[in-house]
Amino acid sequence: MSFNTFGRVFRVTTWGESHGPALGATVDGCPPGVALSEAAIQPWLDRRRPGQSRYTTQRREPDAVEILSGVHEGRTTGTPIQLMIANTDQRSKDYGAIADSFRPGHADLAYFQKYGLRDPRGGGRSSARETAARVAAGGVARAVLAEMVPELQITGYMVQMGAHRTDPARHDEDEIARNPFWCPDAQAAAAWASELDAMRKAGNSVGAVIEVVARGVPAGLGAPVYGKLDADLAAAMMSINAVKGVEIGTGFGAAALTGVENADEISMGAEGPAYGSNHAGGVLGGISTGQDLVVRFAVKPTSSILTPRASITRAGASVDVVTKGRHDPCVGIRAVPVGEAMMACVLLDHLLLHRAQCGEGVRGRIG
Amino acid sequence: MSFNTFGRVFRVTTWGESHGPALGATVDGCPPGVALSEAAIQPWLDRRRPGQSRYTTQRREPDAVEILSGVHEGRTTGTPIQLMIANTDQRSKDYGAIADSFRPGHADLAYFQKYGLRDPRGGGRSSARETAARVAAGGVARAVLAEMVPELQITGYMVQMGAHRTDPARHDEDEIARNPFWCPDAQAAAAWASELDAMRKAGNSVGAVIEVVARGVPAGLGAPVYGKLDADLAAAMMSINAVKGVEIGTGFGAAALTGVENADEISMGAEGPAYGSNHAGGVLGGISTGQDLVVRFAVKPTSSILTPRASITRAGASVDVVTKGRHDPCVGIRAVPVGEAMMACVLLDHLLLHRAQCGEGVRGRIG
Amino acid sequence: MSFNTFGRVFRVTTWGESHGPALGATVDGCPPGVALSEAAIQPWLDRRRPGQSRYTTQRREPDAVEILSGVHEGRTTGTPIQLMIANTDQRSKDYGAIADSFRPGHADLAYFQKYGLRDPRGGGRSSARETAARVAAGGVARAVLAEMVPELQITGYMVQMGAHRTDPARHDEDEIARNPFWCPDAQAAAAWASELDAMRKAGNSVGAVIEVVARGVPAGLGAPVYGKLDADLAAAMMSINAVKGVEIGTGFGAAALTGVENADEISMGAEGPAYGSNHAGGVLGGISTGQDLVVRFAVKPTSSILTPRASITRAGASVDVVTKGRHDPCVGIRAVPVGEAMMACVLLDHLLLHRAQCGEGVRGRIG
Amino acid sequence: MSFNTFGRVFRVTTWGESHGPALGATVDGCPPGVALSEAAIQPWLDRRRPGQSRYTTQRREPDAVEILSGVHEGRTTGTPIQLMIANTDQRSKDYGAIADSFRPGHADLAYFQKYGLRDPRGGGRSSARETAARVAAGGVARAVLAEMVPELQITGYMVQMGAHRTDPARHDEDEIARNPFWCPDAQAAAAWASELDAMRKAGNSVGAVIEVVARGVPAGLGAPVYGKLDADLAAAMMSINAVKGVEIGTGFGAAALTGVENADEISMGAEGPAYGSNHAGGVLGGISTGQDLVVRFAVKPTSSILTPRASITRAGASVDVVTKGRHDPCVGIRAVPVGEAMMACVLLDHLLLHRAQCGEGVRGRIG
């Protein structure tokens, strides 16, 4: 089956292919009366937009979002919001050579085996261009969250490129926007720049790890047991192109801890419960605790590379595939705003779900 | 909101608390005409059952499953299958002492903040006892899969306990059932035994990493882009108690690879496409490739420990919490059959979803 | 597919067959902290219970509901509520004679064609016994509604039996509970009694029309355009066994009106908008207006009759079918509490859905 | 909540307002490899298009559909199909006068009460223009059904306008396309023409009853018990603007029948079970029987009339509302192709759902 919708109350359906006339997102279930305009969404798209540095694809797309429905006189009406982004720089000829071959690491062969046919132009529906629609939808979610939970802040950044990790001791949030890698560690960013230049010249690519943190998340969000906040975040992040792993808080590192180490001790703070550590990453039992919500995901190296890789054609013949065209040497870079957008959508959905069952606000008060 | 259902066509709804009269699973959407009996499900429950070694909780539960509906004369009728498991060894008094305190690392406080009240007996709904219902549902899924895809095999095992990993070179599938850890590496199992004995005596606990592999998965399963096979697996595994991370194939390790290394090269094999490696873990673009489907998840150390940890009471007072009762020193052990069950349910759901949209079998043939 | 769940936030999954050991409902998404006990649900089941007059089946079922989960110390916890009702008076031998024949007007043949097998005992899953589970779930919904919207009242009654309609001028709500037909018109009830006695003796049966009215429904409930309040009510009522038509307000009668007649004129009342008539039945554009919500549904005559009807066997041979056993001569009678229960569930679901998107209360104020 | 999606596997999400730049439908879950083009969808839209006779609104809309995604080289790819229809003849000034008043019989006040604001231009989202998107989606469903069930035929027509019904004895399917009312009874059509001319001149309107018949529906479609084929049809038809009632087969008439009369007797025909009558309308127990599927729905008279009706303003003042602009004197006329489209979508969804659970074809064979 095809399943292009996520969310339960705040629902996002994306559509469109890499090389079709347009792509977009239909956002349903949005609260009414929220100030919204194209100008409010565009900045988020601009952050994901290709061609902004030599480290991302040189495809030139303005990624200008158009709101076709659901907003009247600058406010959401509570009806579906259609967000459309025209494709303007398709170069289908780039893909002529590979229409009959299957690129290793790409969805080409899997789509063909599933559907019996596929749109080979730029990967069709499996292209990372689909993520533009998520970012647009995330812009809507952010506008709502800004009204409902003004203290909420969502910040994404890259903590690993290839084998090189940032040093948390050097993290500086102000640094994130200063380099082309959304890297909070200036020293790491410099090293990555050299590494990525070399990769690009070698016709190769590297993977990355992204961290997205949400601060100011109200306690009590999450729908146990199969709509846990962390389960929904895991699905949301894993659904992003090229993502191969997701972890919450200490994540895989928690396997190596003892129970004594891993217990985030609780004390009574001025504004409610306070925690001595955050191994849990802000979620226990699938429900937010009010601590920082911390999610990390791994992005594999870009599969479109200039180095020939062995593959087969539709007829079953052997072929060496070289993926020309305009590609990101580290697709993880542009995944940063995408991860933030998914976080925003999932949080808003859970905020509305919580309101549905439990009404406004936190129900259980301490003290 | 509460959301206790997973799956889209093959849908499982679980219910029940740790210390209530019973718990169970309602399985809807099951194909009709499949041979099914309690005897077919019970062996899977027996594998998860507590009290089978000194390394798991000493709570004595027969975990006997009863089929209350959906089966007539030994075959599924296509109507909802109610699977009930009675709780027989509740000791609510074990929890009297902590009814008003919140155990660090547990869902106690989060549930209280969300709902304003909670069932403190054994964690209520957030107890790992809920996973018995998943394993029962997984038994139904396995019975269906055995008829629809006889060559499919699902195998789970532990690859890390605390800081100690198995050595893949020593993996032997026959070893898995020979030790109390579902460990494929006999040497590691011996080391784990010593370590876990020490932990248990010290009133402490450890985490673990579980790997679940499905062999013989047909190519073409998966519902792009928000019902990707790997996204659904990520949510399914992350929804298991104490899980903090999920990865597919090389997973987080892929971040450190180059595109050249990570490309699983394709050749033409006797029975269709063959791959030179499996970094992808059997999924590309959210669709199964026919390679082994490889999922790993991290389980944090058991939060119920005998070492006192600082916390607060409902009144906001400081308190040292010691969780007496009968607990697993490594809850990851019993997560192995749970992970297998989730894999079975997700695969069957996707098999039926694929049949809905694309009909029987793989559509795209090579050669 | 089998699809045994209804509702979006307040979700009810029913399970069980007529002649299995038990049947029940799993209620998910229920608000927490609501007072609930078996004693609060049982009275609703008692109203639907068979064997209370000579006009309903003589099967003796206490229909005693048991709450297996989701309630702690007399309050809902927000987790799934399992409601189980044991079957105690199965007489499977009643059905031996028809195991291989298909009863006209019943689901027998359709189930066989769909699933390739069926549970012939009492219709299995297609039996009207399934409606006991709905009534139990409706009891939960009523308990929640009583706290959230205390002024809400749901009343069902029969307005037509066979060809004989009640006269609205003679309707008296107090009369409803005084006769075995839930008939608000004492004169009609007397006539129906004679008619139904005759039908029963003749081995025949009659149809009925039920009206369910909800008073005190807040304005603003409904999820346009495919989750309209009236669309959800239509599905809810049509899903009840033997129902063949549903209408809202003036319903089919509206086809014969002119626009001038049909316009419910609006004026400003003391407590908000007031209406000069209620052809709309309390819903416009799929959203409640605050007027009485009026739904009617048609129930076909009981298909289980003692008069022989022509049919076929599984082998394709001709056969005359006489349905012995214990049957309702007018199954519409017991559909009254079922219709009320569906109304309660749908209204609560929409109340929670509205709260999800729009927050507490009506947003648009007049004056 | 806003809920603008219907279907479970073949899912349709519509978006757009009467006077926005465009409206459309996102169709997800469509089988791959089906021949599809704008030319295949346009004829269905042309049938619903306004301005084709003096009996429908004079708004001039070409209703030209554009396929923005999901089709490659003339075949569906299995990914979301975006169908966009530009609005070209908006005259927002027509609505300036009523921006602050609430039109009786319209959704104006209900939307305002729900959302706290609304798009008053042409009813915004509650406009019947939304049905153009349904018809476009229905065109996709028809293209798929034509390949999967070539013998399936869906035919809609009007059987009642105002108080005047057609005479089934005079029904002639060839007549349907010959008059502007989709009326199968030439004599009735002539009478309706006079009546409607009079209504239009009097600034009034009338209601209607539409019947939609599907022939060649395979036995076995339907998802008991809350996704019954008839329950889904009831919701689908009730979700159409101005619909106030839905019935299946004999419908409300069945209430007046006896069980002996209502039993559709079964015999063995050349191609399987045959029936002596079709009171059931092709559905028993929520599952298709293979007989003609017969659905009727009642459409209320157009609420936009030139005769003044009493209402209130947003400030609570009394006002007489006259709805100028371009309106249908009998909105039921254009509901005919809409009802057909909903039938097509629901049938395809159930065909795919059946295939998911039960595989290809009917499972239970007679003889």
- Residues B182-218: pLDDT tens digits? 999 999 999 999 999 999 999 999 999 999 999 999 9
> Buried b / exposed e across D138-161, counting CB within 10 Å, b at 16+?
bbbbbbbbeebbeebebbbbbbbb
Nearest CA in chain B to A263: B105
The encoded tokens of residue A209 equal 């790890």
Q: With beta carbons under 8 A apart, name residues in chain C contacting A360.
A: 359-360
CB C78 within 8 A of CB C30: yes
Average pLDDT, chain C: 93
pLDDT at A91: 67
pLDDT at B75: 97
Beta bridge partners of A366: none
pLDDT at C48: 81
Q: Please report where in the chains the tokens 């039926």 appear, as a residue.
A: B352
- Phi, psi at C47, each rounded to 5°: -70, -30
pLDDT at D58: 67
Q: Please report where in the chains the tokens 């002529």 appear, as a residue.
A: A96
The Cα–Cα gap between C126 and D225 comes to 8
| pLDDT tops 80 at residue B163 | yes
Nearest CA in chain A to D28: A2
Q: With beta carbons under 8 A apart, name residues in chain C contacting B81.
A: 15
pLDDT in tens, B322-352: 887 667 889 999 999 999 999 999 999 999 9
pLDDT at A1: 56
* D357/B79 touch (CB, cutoff 8 Å), yes or no: no
The Cα–Cα gap between C207 and D252 comes to 9
pLDDT at C102: 94
Q: Measured between alpha carbons, how far is residue B225 from residues A13, B228, D148 in Å?
A: 10, 6, 25
Average pLDDT, chain B: 93
Give the closest-approach CA distance of D51 to chain C in angstroms: 20
pLDDT in tens, D193-202: 999 999 999 9
> What mean pLDDT do residues B353-358 have?
96
Please provide the distance, in angstroms rounded to a whole number, between the alpha carbons at the two ends of chain B.
50
Kindly report the three-state secondary structure assignment for every residue of chain A.
Answer: CCECEECCCCEEEEEECCCCCEEEEEEECCCCCCECCHHHHHHHHHHHCCCCCCCCCCCCCCCCEEECCCEECCEECCCCEEEEEECCCCCHHHHHHHCCECCCCCCHHHHHHHHCCCCCHHHHHHCCCHHHHHHHHHHHHHHHHHHHCCCCEEEEEEEEECCEECCHHHCCHHHHHHCCCCCCCHHHHHHHHHHHHHHHHCCCCECEEEEEEEECCCCCCCECECECHHHHHHHHHHCCCCEEEEEECCHHHHHHCEHHHHCCCEEEECCEEEECCCCCCCEECCEECCCCEEEEEEECCCCCCCCCEEEEECCCCEEEECCCCCCCCCCHHHHHHHHHHHHHHHHHHHHHHHHHHHCCCCCCCCC
* C301/D258 touch (CB, cutoff 8 Å), yes or no: yes
Listed in sequence order, the DSSP H helices in chain D are 38-48, 108-115, 130-148, 186-201, 229-238, 259-262, 332-358
Of D33, D80, D117, the CB nearest to A116: D33
pLDDT at D96: 66
The Cα–Cα gap between D201 and D55 comes to 11
Give the closest-approach CA distance of D234 to chain B in angstroms: 22
Q: What is the DSSP string of B148-197?
A: H-TT-EEEEEEEEETTEEP-GGG--GGGGGGSTT--S-HHHHHHHHHHHH
Burial class (CB in 10 A: 0-12, 13-18, 19+), D56: buried
Q: Per-residue confidence at C94, pLDDT binned at 50, 70, 90?
A: low
Of D8, D161, D287, the CB nearest to C107: D287
DSSP B127: S
pLDDT at A102: 94
pLDDT in tens, B246-280: 999 999 999 999 999 999 999 999 889 999 999 99
* Contact with chain A for residue D78, Cβ under 8 A: yes
Running along chain D, 367 residues long, what does each successive block of 10 average in pLDDT?
90 95 97 97 89 73 93 96 91 68 94 92 90 98 98 98 97 95 97 94 95 97 96 98 98 97 95 95 97 98 92 95 81 96 98 95 79
Q: Report, as ranges of residue numbers, the positions in chain A whose pLDDT lies below 50.
A: none
Higher-pLDDT residue of B160 and B57 is: B160
The Cα–Cα gap between C357 and C348 comes to 15
Check if the interface score ipTM surpasses 0.90: yes
- Contacts with C297 (C-beta within 8 Å, 6 or more apart), sequence order: C209, C210, C212, C237, C238, C240, C243, C245, C246, C247, C335, C339
Chains contacting B (3+ CB pairs below 8 angstroms): A, C, D
Model-wide pTM > 0.95 = yes
Strand A318-321 and strand C81-86: the pairing is unpaired
| pLDDT tops 90 at residue C364 | no
* Contact with chain D for residue B2, Cβ under 8 A: no
Q: With beta carbons under 8 A apart, name residues in chain C contacting D209.
A: 252, 255
The Cα–Cα gap between A337 and A135 comes to 7
Three-state DSSP at C313 gives strand
Q: How are strands ordered across the β-sheet holding A65-67? A: A5-6, A11-16, A22-28, A81-86, A65-67
Three-state DSSP at D356 gives helix
Q: Measured between alpha carbons, how far is residue A358 from residues A215, B115, C149 in Å?
A: 22, 7, 15
- Contacts with A94 (C-beta within 8 Å, 6 or more apart), sequence order: A122, A324, A325, A326
* A363/C224 touch (CB, cutoff 8 Å), yes or no: no
The interface residues of chain B toward chain A in range 321-360, judged by CB-CB distance below 8 A, are 332, 353-354, 356-358
Three-state DSSP at D15 gives strand
The Cα–Cα gap between D97 and D110 comes to 19
- Contacts with C74 (C-beta within 8 Å, 6 or more apart), sequence order: C35, C36, C37
Three-state DSSP at C338 gives helix
- Contacts with D56 (C-beta within 8 Å, 6 or more apart), sequence order: D50, D180, D328, D333, D334
pLDDT in tens, C252-286: 999 999 999 999 999 999 889 999 999 999 999 99
The Cα–Cα gap between C57 and C331 comes to 9
Three-state DSSP at C61 gives coil
Give the closest-approach CA distance of A119 to chain D in angstroms: 6
DSSP B138: H
pLDDT at A313: 95
Listed in sequence order, the DSSP H helices in chain B are 38-48, 108-115, 130-148, 186-201, 229-238, 259-262, 332-358
* Contact with chain B for residue C72, Cβ under 8 A: yes
Of B15, B68, B114, the CB nearest to C20: B68
* A113/B252 touch (CB, cutoff 8 Å), yes or no: no
Cis status, amide bond into C9, omega within 30 of 0: no
| pLDDT tops 60 at residue C1 | no
The interface residues of chain D toward chain A in range 30-69, judged by CB-CB distance below 8 A, are 30, 32-33, 68-69
Q: Between chain A and chain C, how many beta carbons pairs sit less than 8 Å apart?
A: 48
The number of beta carbons lying within 10 Å of the beta carbon of residue A367 is 11
pLDDT at D48: 81
Least Cα distance to A56 among A357, A283, A356, A337 occurs for: A337
Q: Measured between alpha carbons, how far is residue C225 from residues A3, D124, D130, D242 in Å?
A: 21, 12, 9, 12
pLDDT in tens, A83-108: 999 998 776 565 666 788 999 999 99
